[in-house]
Chain A
Amino acid sequence: MNNTLLTDHREDFPLLKQFDAAYLDNAATSQKPQCVIDAEKNFYEKLNSNPLRGFYDLSLAATDAYENARESVRRFIGAKSTKEIIFTANATSAINLAAYSYGLSNIGSNDRIVVSIAEHHSNMLPWQMVAAKTGAELEYMKCGKQGEFSDEEIDRCITSNTRLVAIAAVSNVTGACAPIQKIIAAAHSFGAVVMLDGAQSVPHMKTDVQELDADFLAFSAHKMMGPMGVGVLYGKQELLEKMPPFLTGGEMIESVRLDGATYAQLPHKFEAGTVNAAGAAALDAAIKYYEKIGIDNMEQREQYLTKYAFDGLSQIPHVNIIGSSDSSNHTGILSFTIDGVHPHDVSAVLNDDKICIRAGHHCAQPLLAHLGVRSSSRASLMFYNTTEEIDKFLASVASVRKLMGYRE
């Protein structure tokens, strides 16, 4: 595969152009291309007005910008209708919407909720809340040392009284892809729905919610080159129709009386208050940027970079990579430990060498405990990274133990 494939696109990213460090924390947030920054700016310079409210041209234009973004999201994830695309503040608020609205009204004390142990806290704590409030049983689906879920474990967990299964399509710690098709099929065979966390998958691979037969899918704009402050909840229309509003107030009503209200149609029923229209317009630009380059091309490039980094890291003594021994099952995410060195020290040393990586528990404490790791370092890649940046990273990692006083 061509090493120079797509590297030209670094020029599209203002921060990368003037930044002299290697940015390898893309799983936390991605950098933004100029077109995304311009789209947000353009909204405030040329379209700023409250969308969905005014009857004057400016407000109608703002509404168009907002609703066009919804259509782009629909197209990007292969949803049937824009009614199924709810804009939220981030992936966490999208999952909370599903938990409070769907979870609390559809799950009871005789039911079971299955949550994968590999979940980011944002797809775990909302379901702990639903279990606590409803008295439902909470079962954790456990992965093996390589982050994999066995058929036996899926069958053990997903039972006839299961109402909901929460699973990340890609783990933010191991980068492993979960067997979501199998899990969705198992859940559907018992009439359960699946809350897919797509925060780490949607930015890095083609997603088709109809092909997956997904019930709910949450993801964040800022991890896919869009702005911070915008998230998406996809939900099947038939599920969303029956759900009560999560937040109530402005712009989510049809009519309000002193003794009650009737609510707006989908998707606005779930978008109370003034929306982040400028952010949605910027997400629209990010999606068009994906479509211009081709997400399959980006994925190929990321697979190449992941293998390059994985092979290099595997050769450094005392470095242990968490998750799969196969680099193609890391989705750009390489979490690792260095024997005898705390991740906080690793990232401090790498910072001196102008390399940005994450250190800590990655908001997935139960997974790290399950894997027997207290905390780890994490490098995460995006198509715009280069092998030169990875070389710099590998050299820095290789120097850490000596610096910390170890002889070998």
Chain B
Amino acid sequence: MSNRSFYNEVLTDHNISPGHKHEIEGANFELEGVNPNCGDDIILKLRVEDGVIADGGYTGDGCAISQASADIMLDLVIGKSTDEAQRLADMFLRMIRGEATDEEIEELEEAGALKDVSHMPARVKCAVLGWHTLGNILDKS
């Protein structure tokens, strides 16, 4: 899989014009995720109310894949219960390992645009950074 064909519109839009790259007022969960090798760095913040992700955002710096993936993830999980978000995060990580079904990829909506990362070992860490960080937060909540 070439990088040239991988940078599709979904990815570049979320990277250039992210919807969730901002601070979250009243956030009650916050965690930093770092890829020391390439310098990707995000700080994920969530406001969880009654077991539901009421709002979420991230700040930081990294490659288009790490940043777009975090933005797409927040589109998907805001408004969902933490259990549901955990289920989706697991599904996403399965997709990146090349183990998700077509139905599951469909369910991941725009995050499905990242499925070809399963053939790009050098970019796996970038794609999963936000989702791993989310998983770690949900484990604590």
List residues of chain A with CB under 8 Å of any chain B CB. Answer: 340-345, 348-349, 351-353, 359-361, 374-375, 403-406
**Residues of chain B from 31 to 55 with CB closer than 8 A to chain A in the complex:** 37-40
**Residues of chain B from 120 to 139 with CB closer than 8 A to chain A in the complex:** 122-123, 126
Inter-chain CA distance A361–B40, complex, in Å, is 11
Q: Does the CB pair A360–B39 fall under 8 Å?
A: yes
Q: Does the CB pair A352–B38 fall under 8 Å?
A: no
Inter-chain CA distance A344–B123, complex, in Å, is 9
List residues of chain B with CB under 8 Å of any chain A CB. Answer: 2-4, 7, 9, 12-13, 15-16, 37-40, 61-65, 67, 122-123, 126
Q: Does the CB pair B38–A374 fall under 8 Å?
A: no
Q: Separation in Å of the B115 CB from the closest CB of chain A?
A: 17
Q: Separation in Å of the B110 CB from the closest CB of chain A?
A: 15
Q: Separation in Å of the A291 CB from the closest CB of chain B?
A: 38
Q: Does the CB pair B62–A404 fall under 8 Å?
A: no
Assuming A342-B63, A361-B39, is B12 touching A349 (CB within 8 A)?
no
Give which listed residue, B16, B38, B39, B67, contacts A406 with CB less than 8 A.
B16
Q: Separation in Å of the A282 CB from the closest CB of chain B?
A: 29
Q: Which residues does chain B contribute within 8 Å of A342, judged by CB atoms?
A: 61-64, 67
Residue of B nearest to A365 (CB): B39
Residue of A nearest to B120 (CB): A348
Residue of B nearest to A403 (CB): B7
- 7 A-B pairs with CB atoms under 8 Å apart are A344-B40, A345-B64, A348-B122, A360-B39, A374-B39, A403-B4, A404-B7
Q: Which residues does chain A contribute within 8 Å of B67, judged by CB atoms?
A: 342
Q: Which of B3, B61, B122 has the most CB of A within 10 A?
A: B3
Q: Does the CB pair A344–B63 fall under 8 Å?
A: yes
Q: Which residues does chain A contribute within 8 Å of B37, judged by CB atoms?
A: 360
Residue of B nearest to A359 (CB): B38
Inter-chain CA distance A349–B40, complex, in Å, is 17
Q: Which residues does chain A contribute within 8 Å of B15, judged by CB atoms?
A: 404-405
